[in-house]
Structure 1
């Protein structure tokens, strides 16, 4: 549906009966998590891009926190990326992403939950580089990367083994954005010499149709991150 990110004062785009709607911001990694699941499971859906600095009232009515992703289907509204993805995996059981085995499911959830410590480093590392204090956060980064490297070594081609699971799609958006921090701190790069399994996984993920459909190149992410830090996020930037 909308390509431009709709700001406050924009009219509400009418719902299509029976169609899953996703409220999105194209540069948000959390929203990309859910877009990846929608694409991988080939779920018919429509996307409404929202200006998160000047949010429309109709969006706040659906999600008082004003966050993406938010899903809407009939009178059902779901938000928070992990909750949205679990909802989609239950509602559309084709190409299951969450394992039925309770131990494996718990291990997968731990990998996703603790990855929150990595996402914070995308903001901490650039700030620390500017202050000349990057040694500690870079060490934290390398420790986390080693953990996921070891996990992939045990699991196979994907975190799901021979095919992607929810872990793959929950983590991928930040690996797509590696250029945001490697351009500032080259020692954070995921090289084939230091992380052979992770680097191979990145290349393999890039070949998935769902990733290709949601992919934004490094120039786009770097530009958006720059405008975000300046306080005037360019939501509608198109990276050629």
Structure 2
């Protein structure tokens, strides 16, 4: 996993050398979508290199590889694939180890529908996380916090219906990794939105799922601390996004 915590390349930089025999991930260290791909690679023990790129000052050579200008993107030889759900499906099909997507097509469909329903919680999450605090009234903060929590309740209901510790069943599967990255960020939110706490009385199963996920080796290997998320948020709100908070400590 060479390069995970290295500095982010910017506009005007030269693309670093790429090993054509090895999978390369174009990544941004604080992007939850890119985190999906990294988690799957770590879980499946796939050797890979990481090239971190600035999303506010995108390198020209990165835009040549992904015209959408988004992460994640993966490259193997001259093959380039982007979009998080597409990259993880490709990795799960091509590389050995435990298959993370369900073999049953119906269960796979159920998991993907759950992921889509979960994404309804993201608009209020982003409004709270990256909205200028001076422009958000206490009433708006409470309203958006409640909206996010209400939309997250679909996950509590899913765990109750499935009667399993993970969304994927008795063991962690693709659906769990596709949802997890935002919970690292949600856990940081009470620092600036105290209403965003997951009450164990309401979210008992989801809180237990979080505790299990925090013990997963892939999650632990790539985890960003609450302090680093808050520092990244502060720099972004100030208009000078610092992508290299972790790299600068190396």
TM-score tier after normalising by the smaller chain length: over 0.9
1:92 maps to 2:100: no
The superposition leaves residues 182-227 of structure 1 with CA deviations (integer Å, 9 ceiling, x where unpaired) of 2222222123222111111111101111001110110101111121
Instruction: Look up the match of 2:226.
Output: 218
Q: Which of 180, 192, 195 is the matching residue for 1:184?
A: 192
TM-score by length of structure 2 reads: 0.90
Aligned to 1:170: 178
> Helix, strand or coil for the counterpart of 2:50?
strand
Of the structure 1 ranges 209-218 and 193-202, higher mean CA displacement relative to structure 2 is found in: 193-202
- The answer for unaligned runs of 5 or more in structure 2 is none
2:54 paired with 1:51 = yes
Instruction: Find out whether 1:209 has 2:217 as its counterpart.
Output: yes
8 Å contact kept, 2:188–2:230 = yes
- How far apart, CA to CA, are the structure 2 residues paired with 1:74 and 1:29? 25
| Within-5 A mapping of 1:95-114 | 95-114=98-117
Which of 61, 65, 68 lines up with 1:62 in the alignment?
Answer: 65
Note the C-alpha offset of 1:78.
Answer: 0.7
* Change in 2 beyond 3 A, CA 1:234/1:128: closer
Task: Give SS of 1:177's match.
Answer: helix
Output one character per residue of 1:134-188: Cα deviation in whole Å (capped at 9) or x when no partner: 3432332222222101111233111111111111101111101124422222222
TM-score, normalised to structure 1's length? Answer: 0.93
How many pairs are equivalent? 240
Name 2:80's counterpart in structure 1: 77
Please give the per-residue CA displacement for 1:15-35, whole angstroms capped at 9, x wherever unaligned: 112100000110111111110
In the alignment, is residue 147 of structure 1 matched against residue 150 of structure 2? no
User: Structure 1: which 5+ residue stretches go unaligned?
Assistant: none
Q: Is the CA contact (8 Å cut-off) linking 1:125 and 1:137 kept in structure 2?
A: yes
Matched, 1:159 2:156: no
Does structure 2 retain, via aligned residues, the 8 Å contact 1:179–1:222?
A: no
What SS does the corresponding residue of 1:48 show, helix, strand or coil? strand
User: Displaced runs of 4+ in structure 1, greater than 6 A?
Assistant: none
Q: Following the alignment from structure 2 to structure 1, what is the Cα–Cα distance between the partners of residues 132 and 55?
A: 26
2:31 paired with 1:24: no
Deviating more after overlay: 174-183 vs 201-210? 174-183
